[in-house]
Chain A
């Protein structure tokens, strides 16, 4: 597969500019780049969702025009999207045969097709259960369903868009095994990621994109992780190494035997004991969907525990109500910034003062009349302090990139002067630069005495940031480890319940 001089313009903005890329049979070719570097746009062109403004695509030496996704499927190009393209209300089987054009006939011969699917699943070690509903299976299995779906539709070239984002280390190992099997069968893979460790392990060649243009294509081994990162962001960024602290300050929050919906493995908590002191970061490591969401809701007062108690600053909480927790100095960077963190259609300035509109600083009469001018000035200050890149603070928050949206939330939550910051997946979907910024701010907050509960499925982030590490699995805390020289093997095992 070869793409030559591809450009894609949205209005005045070039998402891709003169990009050329070639992928050989049986290789893993990595696309490396920050968010907004144009990786997804390029891939969407390849699968026919977007039409390139300029440029040509060749498959096996023949020029092709990919005008629709169905054509891409016919040409043997399959993509596993970062946000899975699975219909949740349907079974695994239904999702795989969806859109199938290789079989003639009006009716679906369930038994015969199931046999085909299972055979294919066996061949590549994908291990899927066709009769389960998508909502019933783990994220790792959903991903295998996506891969199987692409193979079932006859993919020769597979695009994997940030496939490891939602997986544990062990699941990532499994994914790599599958990828190796695929290339040994002569399939080609385009691998999109910005996790250096993985990129260096699995790629045969690496193409680096920055601001919509190709920086260079290198072979594995030509650069180390740091070198690649520097190429990717276009400047030197030294490796981060945060100092780990051992705080003895007072406890801000303590959970004793907290239970919520404990029968549920994926959405419950079962006998959770934990505490966070001022001036420390407690990291909750674990695969997504092991009760993290409920934990975050519990420590911010959104839900009430069925059993057990929660103490804020050594006094037992009686009323579980977010407002009560906010008044006690708990702030929250929620896991889904668009759903829970921001109001997309409101401006940056409005989002920044959402919780503080009743303060005399921003309004008179306890929130009756807003002092728009003051709010705007404050927002400008914040935009500067937190490096929120926008054309105006009156801009809709929806129009910002993910990283800048997260900075808006961080500004709002940290400026409140919290005692406890609950940060759920604070850097999910953020590029290296923005991630670094968020991490720096969190460390700075910790050093000024804020207690931080960091919930993250990104194991590297947990290791890098946490002073203490707790592992959560199926709603239970599996163990506690020091953040200094943590036993990585043991923790990854604990994350799978062993």
Chain B
């Protein structure tokens, strides 16, 4: 172990945590309004493909990220309509999106690029150094010389914390996930908040997916989301439904991911598949350890019917 190894590990941890964090924040906005969306994997997959495709065609990573967000929103509206308007089961429609969206992504990819073996690539988003802070020894270069998406994501974390803790709108929003009927009697439009939640969730999960192709790896491969949608679900629980907690949870899972890649590179005589398991095993262990004691928003996953007897 040397400084370079540790520096690389930290750098990779942050890079790995960001897509997870984006997706988890989307889920946080969903669950705070009682929308347990397990379709994150699918939303991220379609975001990832659209982000790649748009970046490839236009040459702009920013446009790719934006379109990835829009694709996530568009697909999530299926879930929103079914669960909010039709009061259908959240799990069923979340799962439906997990099956539908990645398949749609692969389909679009094949239609556009054909089934040739040539790998299409784009240019990744470049890092931007923050003047002043980047001069801090060791950490400066690691933490303050990242892509703009990293800074934006951290800004979203801070915004989210303030929104839910300090603002009237955030308080009203939270009430929808806790006790929608009470919220309704106080004149909060439950349906509107729930749809808004689905828009935010779709957008952030879409960006999370698009991050993978525009800022992380410069190409799209099938299954590149690799379970991050599900780990994000765990991160929301692990982070106790607060943005700060989710940040730490994602850094932890990101660290596991970073570690496994480093370990794969080093030759220990162990099949690399074992290292690949690390993030997933960490997820299972964490959920087992904290599982039973956690209580999320009370009305999570329950349909809200306005005129219910």
A410 part of interface (Cβ distance < 8 Å)? no
A69 touches B168 (CB 8 A): no
Interfacial chain B residues near A81, Cβ < 8 Å: 185
A88 touches B187 (CB 8 A): no
Q: How far is the CA of A484 from the CA of B185 in the complex (A)?
A: 46
- Which single residue of chain B is at the shortest CB-CB distance from A15? B309
A239 part of interface (Cβ distance < 8 Å)? no
Q: How far is the CA of A47 from the CA of B184 in the complex (A)?
A: 10
A86 touches B179 (CB 8 A): yes
- Which single residue of chain B is at the shortest CB-CB distance from A72? B187
Which of B169, B187, B298, B307 is close to A89, meaning CB atoms less than 8 Å apart? B298
- Which single residue of chain A is at the shortest CB-CB distance from B187? A70
Q: How far is the CA of A107 from the CA of B169 in the complex (A)?
A: 8
Q: How far is the CA of A88 from the CA of B175 in the complex (A)?
A: 10
Q: How far is the CA of A49 from the CA of B184 in the complex (A)?
A: 8
26 contacts between A and B (CB under 8 A): A10-B309, A49-B185, A68-B189, A69-B186, A70-B189, A73-B186, A79-B185, A85-B179, A86-B182, A87-B174, A87-B178, A88-B178, A90-B171, A90-B174, A90-B178, A97-B168, A97-B171, A99-B183, A99-B187, A101-B187, A105-B168, A106-B169, A108-B167, A108-B168, A149-B186, A153-B186
The winner among B171, B189, B297, B309 for most chain A CB atoms within 10 A is B171
A98 part of interface (Cβ distance < 8 Å)? yes
A98 touches B184 (CB 8 A): no
Which of B167, B179, B181, B182 is close to A106, meaning CB atoms less than 8 Å apart? B167
Q: How far is the CB of A291 from chain B (nearest CB, A)?
A: 23
- Which single residue of chain A is at the shortest CB-CB distance from B181? A85
Q: How far is the CB of A75 from chain B (nearest CB, A)?
A: 11
A74 part of interface (Cβ distance < 8 Å)? yes
Q: How far is the CB of A279 from chain B (nearest CB, A)?
A: 41
A62 part of interface (Cβ distance < 8 Å)? no
Given A10-B309, A49-B307, A88-B178 in contact, is the A99-B167 Cβ separation under 8 Å?
A: no
B66 part of interface (Cβ distance < 8 Å)? no
The winner among B184, B187, B306 for most chain A CB atoms within 10 A is B187
Chain B interfacial positions (CB closer than 8 Å to A): 166-169, 171-172, 174-175, 178-179, 181-189, 297-298, 306-307, 309
- Which single residue of chain A is at the shortest CB-CB distance from B188? A99
Interfacial chain A residues near B175, Cβ < 8 Å: 87, 90, 98-99
A-B pair count, CB < 8 Å, reads 80
- Which single residue of chain B is at the shortest CB-CB distance from A104? B168
Please name the 10 residue pairs, one residue from A and one from B, whose CB atoms are nearest each other, closest first: A70-B187, A99-B186, A85-B182, A87-B178, A73-B187, A87-B179, A99-B188, A69-B185, A69-B187, A106-B167
User: A241-285 toward B: CB 8 Å interface, digit per residue (1/0)?
Assistant: 000000000000000000000000000000000000000000000
Q: How far is the CB of B188 from chain A (nearest CB, A)?
A: 5
Interfacial chain A residues near B167, Cβ < 8 Å: 106-108
Interfacial chain B residues near A68, Cβ < 8 Å: 187, 189
Contacts A87-B179, A99-B186 aside, 7 further interface pairs with beta carbons under 8 A come to A47-B185, A49-B306, A99-B183, A99-B187, A100-B168, A108-B167, A149-B186
Which of A69, A89, A149 is close to B184, meaning CB atoms less than 8 Å apart? A69
